[in-house]
Amino acid sequence: MREFAYEAQPMRVVLRPGASVTATPGEAERLGLRRLLVVSGARGADTARAVADALGGACVGLHAEARMHVPVEVADRAVEVARAAGADGCVAVGGGSAIGLGKVIALRTGMPVIAVPSTYSGSEMTPVWGLTEHGAKRTGRDPSVLPRSVVYDPELTLSLPVGLSVTSGINAVAHAAEALYAPDASPLVSLMAEEGARAMTGALTGVAADPRDLDARGRALYGAWLCGAALGATTMGLHHKLCHVLGGTFGLPHAETHTVVLPYALAYNASAAPEAMAALGRALDSDDAPGALWELSGRLGAPRSLAELGLREADLTVAAHAATGQAYANPRPISEEGVLGVLRSAYAGDRP
Ligand code: NAD
């Protein structure tokens, strides 16, 4: 018998084409919010404007200053703007960066967040916030930052370039993979993770073949939902830890780094997590999940090596040291030497 604890997250999810403008006002109304600040990144400002317009009188401003990894000065400014506008809630429109800013506004002010995701990062489904100060990223868990309502609009993702769609999608698959072998995995979450990985990997092939395929875009967001929810319900392991170090200390791009590292982190853990590998294998229709992911990302044109992402070979030992500094959950024991092996393989990019 497998023992477990499971806690449902108190949020609503809406998925349908056009929902960013047709559903967001109704979601605000359900939550009793009448003075919403819409936040986005600079490049997502047009989309965010459309959401703000749809909210009409329930929108008190648009703040298009979100940046990757939520620098503390960006967060300070957004909180100031939200308070000055007398906002009672926040609508975060965009990828993980915009949603990350919404979460920090929630953390500081207690305002509820509605998320309207435009990538497959899955951040909207987790109570994890991040904040970057003096070049170091801090993260934490707080139920108050979990969006109260998530509006998935496949039309919003039609503009996401194929390259970013693929890497962002594999970022989501990484959430599912680590949820499957997490110490706090539970049966329902494992089903979500497996189905999320299946939906996402299938959808990515469709998106790469035709980025305007609304059905494939919808399936990818469905996958992002499930993978993100699995991440939100469990404790992350070696893969997320490594990517955190590579992004935080060496400035490597988030989704691309996840895409490159995942097959090697999974190959390292495979022998210690046979059930998780079997579930992931079912999702990928392969008996070699790490190899299948490596093949998929290469076939869809994603980067395959840390060298391609600009890491220097000399950084590998520094990264291995940083990723083993603190103890954390992982199915296979972690040693600096073992992690260095994972990093060396990911640096070279050969078949795991
Ligand atoms: P991002 O939000 O930084 O977006 C990447 C780029 O894509 C940006 O330039 C953005 O303008 C553009 N973009 C976004 N949506 C687009 C669209 N539909 N069309 C065209 N361009 C679009 O990247 P991301 O990968 O979504 O998020 C990364 C951030 O999210 C990182 O800071 C990461 O740490 C965080 N994250 C957090 C969690 C969590 O649970 N807390 C989970 C995943 C990611």
Q: Does a structural domain hold residue 130? A: yes
| Cα–Cα distance measured from residue 346 to residue 316, given in angstroms and rounded to the nearest whole number | 10
How high is the pLDDT of residue 2?
84
Q: Are residues 193 and 255 in the same domain?
A: yes
Residue with CA at minimum distance from ligand 1 atom 5: 95
Joined tokens for residue 94: 């965009």
How high is the pLDDT of residue 9?
87
Q: Are residues 280 and 215 in the same domain?
A: yes
Report the pLDDT averaged over residues 209-224: 98
For residue 170, how far is its CA from the centre of ligand 1 (angstroms)?
13
Q: Does a structural domain hold residue 318? A: yes
For residue 78, how far is its CA from the centre of ligand 1 (angstroms)?
18
Mutate to test the pocket of ligand 1, among 93, 121, 200, 214 (most ligand atoms within 8 A of CB): 121
Q: Are residues 233 and 138 in the same domain?
A: no
Q: How much of the chain, in percent, has pLDDT values that exceed 90?
A: 94
pLDDT (tens digit, 9 = 90+) per residue, 281-323?
999 999 999 999 999 999 999 999 999 999 999 999 999 999 9
Q: Are residues 136 and 178 in the same domain?
A: no
| Cα–Cα distance measured from residue 12 to residue 22, given in angstroms and rounded to the nearest whole number | 16
The set of protein residues with a Cβ atom below 6 angstroms from ligand 1 is 41, 43-44, 68-69, 94-98, 100, 118-119, 121-123, 126, 128, 130, 156-157, 159-160, 164, 168, 254-255
Domains identified in the chain, total number: 2
Q: Does a structural domain hold residue 3? A: no
Handedness of CA 76, 47, 244, 199 (dihedral sign): positive
How high is the pLDDT of residue 156?
97
How high is the pLDDT of residue 136?
78
Q: Are residues 172 and 319 in the same domain?
A: yes
Q: Does a structural domain hold residue 131? A: yes
| Cα–Cα distance measured from residue 113 to residue 91, given in angstroms and rounded to the nearest whole number | 6
Residue with CA at minimum distance from ligand 1 atom 35: 96
Locate the ligand 1 atom nearest the alpha carbon of residue 120 and give its number: 26
How high is the pLDDT of residue 326?
83
Q: Does a structural domain hold residue 304? A: yes
The bridge status of strand 113-117 relative to strand 89-94 is parallel
Mutate to test the pocket of ligand 1, among 70, 118, 178 (most ligand atoms within 8 A of CB): 118
Which residue, 136, 157, 178, sits at the end of a domain?
A: 157
pLDDT (tens digit, 9 = 90+) per residue, 170-213?
999 999 999 999 999 999 999 999 999 999 999 999 999 999 99
How high is the pLDDT of residue 140?
95
What kind and span of H or E run contains 243? helix 238-250
Q: Are residues 333 and 188 in the same domain?
A: yes
pLDDT (tens digit, 9 = 90+) per residue, 129-140?
999 988 778 899
How high is the pLDDT of residue 29?
98
Residue with CA at minimum distance from ligand 1 atom 40: 123
Q: Does a structural domain hold residue 23? A: yes
Q: What SS3 class is residue 240?
A: helix
DSSP secondary structure code for residue 34 in this structure: -
Which residue, 157, 179, 203, sits at the end of a domain?
A: 157
Residue with CA at minimum distance from ligand 1 atom 21: 160
CA distances from 338 to 112, 268, 335 (A): 42, 8, 5
Q: Are residues 204 and 260 in the same domain?
A: yes
Q: Are residues 92 and 186 in the same domain?
A: no
How high is the pLDDT of residue 325?
85
Joined tokens for residue 15: 């998925």
- Residue 28, classified by CB atoms within 10 Å of its CB into exposed (0-12), middle (13-18) or buried (19+), is buried
Joined tokens for residue 146: 């979990």
Joined tokens for residue 81: 């703007």
For residue 3, how far is its CA from the centre of ligand 1 (angstroms)?
35
- Taking residue 329's Cβ as centre, other Cβ atoms within 10 Å add up to 16
Q: Are residues 176 and 60 in the same domain?
A: no
**CATH no. for residue 250?**
1.20.1090.10
- How big is the chain, counted in residues? 352
Bridge partners for 137 per DSSP = 132
Is the pLDDT at 82 greater than 80, yes or no?
yes
Report the pLDDT averaged over residues 81-102: 98
CA distance between the termini of the chain: 33
- Long-range contacts, 174-177 (Cβ 8 Å, 24+): 174/239, 174/240, 174/243, 174/258, 174/262, 175/122, 175/227, 175/228, 175/230, 175/231, 176/200, 176/226, 176/227, 176/230, 176/231, 176/280, 176/283, 177/239, 177/262, 177/266, 177/276, 177/280, 177/289
**CATH no. for residue 137?**
3.40.50.1970
How high is the pLDDT of residue 137?
82
pLDDT (tens digit, 9 = 90+) per residue, 18-28?
999 999 999 99
Rg (CA), the chain: 19
What kind and span of H or E run contains 115? strand 113-117
Q: Are residues 292 and 182 in the same domain?
A: yes
For residue 94, how far is its CA from the centre of ligand 1 (angstroms)?
7
For residue 4, how far is its CA from the centre of ligand 1 (angstroms)?
32
Residue with CA at minimum distance from ligand 1 atom 42: 123
Locate the ligand 1 atom nearest the alpha carbon of residue 41 and give its number: 11
For residue 125, what pLDDT band results from cuts at 50, 70 and 90? very high
How high is the pLDDT of residue 1?
82
Which among 98, 84, 125, 100 has a CA at the least distance from the CA of 38? 98
Handedness of CA 343, 344, 347, 348 (dihedral sign): negative
Q: Which domain holds residue 99?
A: 12-157
Q: Does a structural domain hold residue 2? A: no
Let me know: does 343 contact 313? Beta carbons within 8 Å. no
Which residue, 157, 174, 200, sits at the end of a domain?
A: 157
Q: Are residues 185 and 297 in the same domain?
A: yes
Joined tokens for residue 351: 């078949």
Provide the whole-model pTM. 0.97
Q: Are residues 183 and 147 in the same domain?
A: no
Q: What is the mean pLDDT of the chain?
A: 97
Residue with CA at minimum distance from ligand 1 atom 14: 95
How high is the pLDDT of residue 145?
98
For residue 249, what pLDDT band results from cuts at 50, 70 and 90? confident
The bridge status of strand 128-133 relative to strand 136-141 is antiparallel
For residue 215, how far is its CA from the centre of ligand 1 (angstroms)?
21
Let me know: does 145 contact 103? Beta carbons within 8 Å. yes
Q: Does a structural domain hold residue 7? A: no
Query: Residues near 134 by Cβ (< 8 Å), separated by ≥ 6?
Result: none
